[in-house]
Structure 1
Amino acid sequence: MKLLVFLLLPYLSLSEVGKDFNQCGQFFLNNVPPQFIPPAGVSVQHICQCLWDDSDQIMYLYATLYSTTWRIPIYSAYVFGSPNIGRCDAWYIEPQLDDNNADPCMSPKGYKRTIGKNQAVNSDYKGSVYDKGHLYPVQHTDNHLSMLATSTLTNAAPQDPTFNQNAWKTHEGAVIKDLEGCDKAYVVTGVVPDINNKINNRVTVSKYYWRATCCLKNGVVTGQGYYGPNNNQVQKLSITALQTQLDKDYNVNNIKIFPSPATGGCN
């Protein structure tokens, strides 16, 4: 029985680490991922975060665009769930980010000394002043598997502990209240890196956290953006304004967080 074991499938079959989100498009509005072309010189991998359920079936739980250059996620995308679950932080890593032929399951800390070339590991955070800041937070999960799956280092970035435990936590709670009345809600949460600031000379510290929500209710689509410096308060703004800000911060052009041509997106 593979209950509660994190799965990473073989790279050439149903690999969860790869060049697209074909296995987990259900976490995006109309199955369309954000339009995001990384800056020059920044490498990314698409991760369909998954677990085995208690019937030995693969359960995809959310999607992450991960920067192997910065060793932090650029964003995680998920379907909001009304929370009713406790928390357990058992941190995992993705062996196949460093070795395509690695073991087929996501593994706990201390997997192998060779792990870490393309990703953060637990030892990077030891002795640092930063928390492991979730992009997909436990507060927004509604089942045990999703809760466990959030505690992977590919869903976390170094976050100022005061911001993480106060302003950002309060913001996550406020989002719950905003989205509880939706028929369905899609969420994309991301990190703007501070490229001149790294822990352990390896893992890029987050400069800003951002979140975009898309609420579907009675056939009406409503979007909301949020933007928070790593040591300050979270501000609300339109998704259009958020995208403009992210274009500037990532030094890219024409980011679209919910680029769904069938509905005109969520703005």
Structure 2
Amino acid sequence: MKLLVFLLLPYLSLSEVGQDFSKCSRFFLNNDPPQITLPASVSVKHICQCLKDNNNQIIYLYATLYSTAWRIPIYSAYVFGSPNVGRADRWYIEPQLDLGTTAEPCMSPQDRDSIINQAVNCDYDYSGYDRGHLYPVQHTDNHLSMLATSTLTNAAPQDLSFNRGLWSAHEGKVIKDLKGCDEAYVVTGVVPEINIKIPTNNPRVTVSKYYWRATCCLKNNMFTGKGYFGPDNNGGVQELTIANLQAQLRIYYNVNNIIIFPSPLTGSCN
């Protein structure tokens, strides 16, 4: 087995920012990203989250649609894998979001005031919010994916009691639900609380009002989908059909349509 050695310098991510997900489309069911049209004021970036190996070869690990207006991800999409292999609590930023697509990772800036399009660690300090993973550590099954989840482009403000309690328990239940699948695709997103930002001296990062997750499991040539939404009215995580989740998200995002798994399937993932 080839041994891969990775070096992550402080505060930088080795992701690629592009115009679409063409380089990392395999993390979507049938290579089709979710269909959602947000208002023009909500500028978005397509991020193929990746690391490089010893030979400087890029390894793509998941995909994120990121809002530079809200400074949080709209969703991250990944192929499910578990059990995980540990945890890294050092968080990174994506230099290309602020230095342009030609930026080298080693050029990651350190000054908060120069980071315009994304959150930085001090936005979360003493705020009462956790950096809530969209692609969670416990859904990874290799060291690379685990490391790659710890970028702030994969995190949104999440109430710490919900993140460490009911949402974490939900992620554990998803592991049990998907472990028998031949393959499983997952999209996890947030609904922003548009007018509320993390309280700091210079509030910049939009708070997430809701977290949601959609899963599509292939087993015995049949697809089965489930949707999740929380916190619900009782502070928990609601399980619902993909169709009902999409109907709920249309209301909260204030869009005419959203299709999480656009491809026609044999089964119920759309």
Write out aligned runs for 1:40-55 (5 A).
Answer: 40-55=40-55
- Indicate the residue corresponding to 1:257 in structure 2: 260
- Per-residue CA deviation, residues 218-246 of structure 1 (Å, 9 max, x unaligned), is 10000000000289200100000000000
Change (3 A) 1:153 1:106: farther
The 3 A distance-change label for structure 1 pair 91 and 218 is same
Aligned amino acid, residue 14 of structure 2: L
The answer to whether 1:61 aligns with 2:76 is no
Q: Distance in 2 between matches of 1:93 and 1:106?
A: 12
**Equivalent position SS for 1:60:** strand
Aligned residues: 259
Q: Secondary structure at the match of 1:50?
A: strand
> Which of the residues 213, 216, 227 maps onto 2:215?
213
Instruction: Give the equivalent residue in structure 1 for 2:168.
Output: 169
In structure 2, what is the equivalent of residue 188 of structure 1?
187
SS at match of 2:262: coil
Q: Is the 8 A contact 1:95 1:115 kept in 2?
A: no
Aligned residues with identical type, % of pairs:
69
The equivalent residue for 2:78 is: 78
Question: Residue 64 of structure 1 contacts residue 75 of structure 1 at CA under 8 Å; is this kept in 2?
Answer: yes
Secondary structure at the residue paired with 1:119?
A: coil
Alignment correspondent of 1:105: 105
Matched residues in 2 for 1:265 and 1:116: separation? 42
Contact conserved, 1:94 with 1:106, CA < 8 A, in 2?
A: no
Give the secondary structure class of the aligned counterpart of 1:202. Answer: coil
Q: Secondary structure at the match of 2:269?
A: coil
Task: Judge conservation of contact 2:97–2:118 (CA < 8 Å) in 1.
Answer: yes
1:266 maps onto 2:257 in alignment: no
| Moved beyond 3 Å, runs of 4+ | 112-115, 261-265
Displacement after TM superposition at 1:265 (Å): 7.3
Q: C-alpha separation between the residues in 1 aligned to 2:187 and 2:106?
A: 23
CA contact (8 A) 2:98 2:117 kept: yes
Determine which of 196, 201, 224 is the counterpart of 1:222.
224
CA distance in 1, matches of 2:107, 2:153: 12
Q: Check whether the contact 2:130–2:163 (CA below 8 A) recurs between aligned residues.
A: yes
Question: Partner of 1:239 in structure 2?
Answer: 242
**SS of equivalent to 2:87:** coil
| CA displacement at 1:114 relative to structure 2 | 5.1
Return 5+ residue gaps in structure 2 as ranges: none
Q: Take 2:256 and 2:170, find their aligned partners in 1: how far apart are those partners?
A: 28
Could you tell me whether the CA contact under 8 Å between 1:132 and 1:158 is conserved in 2? yes
Q: 2:14 aligns with which of 4, 7, 31?
A: 7
Contact 1:7–1:106 (CA<8 Å) still a contact in 2? no
Note the C-alpha offset of 1:18: 1.8
Partner of 2:121 in structure 1? 122
**Secondary structure in 2 aligned to 1:132?**
strand
Contact 1:247/1:253, CA 8 A, preserved across alignment: yes
The worse-fitting range, judged by mean Cα deviation, of 130-139 and 51-60 is: 51-60
Q: Is the 8 A contact 2:84 2:139 kept in 1?
A: no
Matched, 1:21 2:28: no
Provide the rounded CA distance (Å) in 2 between the counterparts of 1:106 and 1:245.
Answer: 41
Report the Cα distance in structure 2 between the residues aligned to 1:89 and 1:205, rounded to whole angstroms: 21
- Check conservation: 1:88, 1:148, Cα contact below 8 A: yes
* Counterpart code for 2:132: G
- 8 Å CA contact 2:225–2:268 kept in 1: the answer is no
Corresponding residue SS for 1:190: strand
> Does the 8 A contact of 1:46 with 1:63 survive in 2?
yes
1:98: Cα distance to partner? Answer: 1.1
Gaps of 5+ in 1: 9-15
Output the CA distance in 2 between the equivalents of 1:100 and 1:7.
Answer: 14
